[in-house]
Amino acid sequence: MYAQYWLRTFDYKGISKLSHLIANLFINIIILIIINLVGLVVPVSMENFIVTTYYVLLIAMLFPTAAMIVRVLNRKKR
């Protein structure tokens, strides 16, 4: 399911379940929490890399999340 979340990033015409959206958002939050926890244990010299990785991944997660929200709304219309 999570792989389909990323593979259907630009699919705005399909439909998706609300439960899939919630599950994928939960997985995204867990991934971001793990990156934050890694940031606590890495040396100070690596902190910039961890912060950059966090923000790049956060921005990358916006696109499939927006597409999935549109697909859930499409399901509600039908």
Residue spans per domain, the chain? 2-77
Q: If you average pLDDT over residues 52-60, what whole number do you get?
A: 97
The closest alpha carbon to 63, from 18, 11, 20, belongs to: 11
Rounded Cα–Cα distance for residues 78 and 74 (Å)? 7
The percentage of residues in the chain with a pLDDT greater than 90, rounded to a whole number, is: 95
Task: Compute the CA torsion angle 60, 62, 66, 69 (nearest 10 deg).
Answer: 110
Tell me what pLDDT residue 21 has: 96
Place of tokens 């697909």: 71
Rounded Cα–Cα distance for residues 78 and 13 (Å)? 12
